[in-house]
Amino acid sequence: MAPIPTDEAGRWHPRLALLLLLSASTLTVMAGAIITPVLEVIRGELGVDGTAAGMILTAHGLSIALCSPLVGWLIDRFGVRLPLAGGLLLYGLAGGAGLVVESYVALIFSRLLFGLGAAAVFSGTTVALLSFYRGSMQDRVMGWRSAAISGGGIAWPLLGGAVGTLSWHAPFGIYLIGVPLGLASLVLLPHRGQTQSGPRGKVLPLLQQPSVLSLYAFQMLVSALMYVVAVFLPQRLAQLDVERPFVVSLFLVTMSISATAAGLFYGKLRARLGYPVLLRIAFVGWAVGFLLIAFTGVAWLMLPALATCGASMGVLIPALTVLIGESAPPTLRGQVTALLGAAAFLGQFASPLVFGPLIDATSVADGFLAAAVLSLVAMAVSSTSILGTAASKVDAAQKEEEGERHVTEVAER
């Protein structure tokens, strides 16, 4: 592991900080999942229609997309510690406001503020993990991050549904976990990180590079494909006479479990295969899973299909995150990473708008068939010079960094 930046007193808590960053990383997937089980109750209590109720889930995503560039600039300007701590505190307080609000307007306003905090949490945790951990250790912690996010996708909705039996306000109290995490980040993270070192450049020329733009496009595609499963799988299962909510949730959990497992093994896979091969395998796996979902007439065959999709997701998320983080100098890492979050949430927002009309005009199976075709197209594009070269460069740079670190360690002995 590379030398870790320390504060003025030389303090650094690497293990506790890693636990903090992995825990905070689960909060972005928790953002909407916590209140999904009580959304229909909220709609009835506040007397709003389905579209307005849906805004309670999506308002924070819009806020994240709009605020991410500002958050990235703050991280590059002041380091990770303060923006992340502030974001966690805002996440907790604005999210927890749902415990007491009684009007729809106040709830939407709190969700917009909550989105600003969530943007800082997403970008702050990502930049911290990319900056504080280098080489093979970076691969491991990014895989652990993917596993933690997938695990959160299992645990947080179950917890939200459990406390939702008390009242529709109760799940909002879970967001308050951001407050102690924010306070802990002030103690555990160094005052100054690698994001502040080196000459400062401008992010716009970097964003004009085809390889960087392709990474953002891939992130949008990955998020859109993830939401094809989340939004339309229940309809596909209903066609196979699987309609009980608990049974449907078991199918979705299968995908999260396989994504968690893939994240735990991501570091070893990346070291052995390299980014270009890893990306191609992941997209092929996703295509196979979507094809099986589209054509099978047996419900239980959905389980291996979803496991394949989940494993691909568990590999693609950390790979794309590292590739975009390593495409920029440390002084711009906050901004390029924040824009990756914006691309992810825009992809989520666009998914039902793109696939919904197609499915309405044809069938749910055709929607998954289209997702399989897009996955194969992505696999083909990942083999081209634009993205393939970018991935190969990061591979080479990381190997060189590992070699230099080894020489330094031998010399110090």
Q: Which residues of 154-168 are buried (b: 16+ CB within 10 A; e: fewer)?
A: bebbebbbebbeeeb
Could you give the count of Cα atoms lying within 13 Å of 200 in the half-sphere of its Cβ?
A: 10
Percentage of residues in the chain having pLDDT higher than 70: 84
Q: Is the C-alpha dihedral spanning 128, 134, 137, 140 positive or negative? A: positive
Where do we find the tokens 């970097």?
A: 206
3-state secondary structure of 197: coil
Domains along the sequence of the chain with CATH: 12-193 (1.20.1250.20), 203-413 (1.20.1250.20)
List the Cα angle 268/289/372 in 5-degree steps: 110
Query: Do 195 and 334 form a contact (C-beta atoms < 8 A)?
Result: yes
Q: Which residue has the higher pLDDT, 41 or 5?
A: 41
Q: What is the DSSP string of 374-393?
A: HHHHHHHHHTSHHHHHHHHH
CA-derived radius of gyration, the chain? 21
Q: Which residue has the higher pLDDT, 135 or 358?
A: 358
At 120, list the tokens.
Answer: 């800082």
Tell me the pTM: 0.73
Query: Do 391 and 279 form a contact (C-beta atoms < 8 A)?
Result: yes
Please name the residues in contact with 311: beta carbons below 8 A apart, sequence gap of 6 or more.
Answer: 258, 259, 261, 262, 282, 285
Residue 370 has pLDDT above 60, yes or no: yes
Please name the residues in contact with 162: beta carbons below 8 A apart, sequence gap of 6 or more.
Answer: none
Q: Is 277 exposed, middle or buried (0-12, 13-18, 19+ CB in 10 A)?
A: middle
Q: Report which DSSP code applies to 131.
A: H
Segment 8-24 mean pLDDT: 77
Q: What does the pLDDT look like over 87-137, one tens digit per residue? A: 999 999 999 999 999 999 999 999 999 999 999 998 899 888 888 887 778
Instruction: Give the span between the Cα atoms of 274 and 90, in whole angstroms.
Output: 38
List the Cα angle 334/338/342 in 5-degree steps: 170
- pLDDT recorded at residue 293: 94
Q: Is residue 1 very low, low, confident or very high in pLDDT (cuts 50, 70, 90)?
A: very low
Q: Is residue 306 very low, low, confident or very high in pLDDT (cuts 50, 70, 90)?
A: very high
Q: Report which DSSP code applies to 209.
A: S
Strongest mean pLDDT among 5-19, 79-93, 197-211, 369-383 = 79-93
Of the candidates 56, 178, 176, the residue with the CA atom closest to the CA atom of residue 122 = 178
Q: What does the pLDDT look like over 216-231, one tens digit per residue? A: 888 889 988 987 887 7
- pLDDT recorded at residue 2: 42
